[in-house]
Structure 1
Amino acid sequence: MSVIRSAVTGVGSYLPEQVVTNEELSKTVDTSDEWIIERTGIRQRHKARDDEPTSDLATEAARRALADAGRTAADVDMIIVATTTPDMTFPATASIVQRKLGAPVCIAFDVQAVCSGFVYALSVADGFVARGLSKCALVIGAEEMTRLMDWTDRTTCVLFGDGAGAVVVEPREGQGTSADQGILGFALRSDGTKTDLLYVDGGPATTGTVGHLRMAGNQVFRHAVVNIAEAITGACAAAGITVPEVDWFVPHQANQRIIKGVGDRLGLDEHKVISTVAMHANTSAASIPLALDTAIRDGRIRRGDLVLLEAMGGGLTWGACAFRL
């Protein structure tokens, strides 16, 4: 029996021009290149210009994804932007991206699940596309995390950067098996009792300010390794696959130690794990599509490969997705 799957048909990403290396950061923050690399694996991050809002990054990533899919803005009928650093409280950054792309009247809204945002947004797009409610959806993860940094807190400000990644999602006919091209299964989770482990200490309804990012790093690390592994198992079960069948693992690029810890817990071969955190640090909802685009561009991930995504962020939220490219 044939079924309609939502498939990733194009991928694109964008990083701001300004690069801030660990050595440059050590001139203004009490840290060092050695300290950052040893604890995180990060070597540099990108920083948006003052006049370069999140929507600019998202729009450029979207243009590149559309070109990769052989589509134009005129084809787009839905835009979902996963971001925790929107241009404004409202309208949604997705609506601003729609205008900048020159896309026609369509569905456009934001998803806020912090670092898990891209996986959450992809699941929403899947619900529209697989049910015939969208024919060409843009799913974008875009963040300017440097806007949220307390530059006197060396435990957090060295971890984050700015960037955007996007995918085009379109319907594809399949046979209802794990051999189909398209999204095969999800597992999404949230535990609101852990909000104090990773949060921003501001907001329009509380302080009336943007606030700064605060994190209990050791506790987040511990929850990440255990929770992510469980969600991955759940996503694989929903997809009808096992972890050893996966060709490529594209995790949220938060910290090299977390990436390795999850890979080891799952028994994944190191060569199957895509890691780009060294080059752009933690870009929150943008990190997965950034890493995915990198691995497709350099020829590692190819059409037909079985790919596993995962992320964990403030909320705490976490989740995983299995799809065949």
Structure 2
Amino acid sequence: MDPVIVVHGGAWAIPDQISEASVKGVKTAASEGFAVLKKRGSALNAVELAVRAMEDNPVFDAGHGAVLDADGEVELDAIIMDGKTLAAGAVSSIRNISNPVTFARSVMEKTDHVMLTDRGANLFADGLGIPKLATETLVTENERKEWEHYQKYAQGVKELFNAQWDHDTVGAVAVDCDGNVACATSTGGIRNKMVGRVGDSPIIGSGGYADNHSGAVSCTGHGESIMKVTLARLILFHMEQGKAAGQAAEVSLQYMGERVHGGGGAIVVSNKGDWAAKFTTERMAWASVKEDIMSYGLNPKEIFSEHIQD
């Protein structure tokens, strides 16, 4: 079958000054992931590589673009899931690691567990020899200034969500030539969040889910709302009931908005290659590649297409 990859760079009120860089970043990530699929590589490898590309890009709140918590530290979360076996790996509240998605895959492949968190996760990373980076390396100068501003004016997480300024996560979903699906999601959290706060991103069924019987989903937005409705699994439930990927995402996001008043977005791919990128926030940078055609967008109801070069 024709492989497909879809990526997102976070559903939030992306400011104009980084909108172009955000779109460029997701297009690059989608291209790198699709290059794996085009060589008959696995969906799992494709989503990991795509998310790593965004973790390495400081325009996104993941890895090198992470935000600071209330103590001025970086705490990172990520998940990766293989739809063929339902194997999953997740990490939360990890520090000073540039590519949490790859670390999450290590949890999946090298332990008997699904999730490791905080001190234990960091000890496991040390045991694997994963290099640690200084906090300053993962945080941009602009983020440090923004954090200091919020500290000065004592603006809390609730106000940040009301402003829809800091809803940022990255993710990827894919189906490969063999019909296997996978998902990956990674985030640096919310600026000024409580130390130890974990959102939806690393939670199986909320921030992401993949099952060859239906498809794969990666979510972004208000983490607490996403967890309350287990958004990723809810979308796949609607697909299992016969809805197309786009309709399943729209119905689920609408339900989340009505039921718990949360905004967000999701990228979806079915096991047949049907895909969608939907959101209820002001903007979401996303891109997909299928049959050498890249589609991408930023604003509601916006979709552009171009042929990618070999």
TM-score of Structure 1 vs Structure 2, range by shorter chain? 0.3 to 0.5
Tell me the TM-score normalised to structure 2 length: 0.34
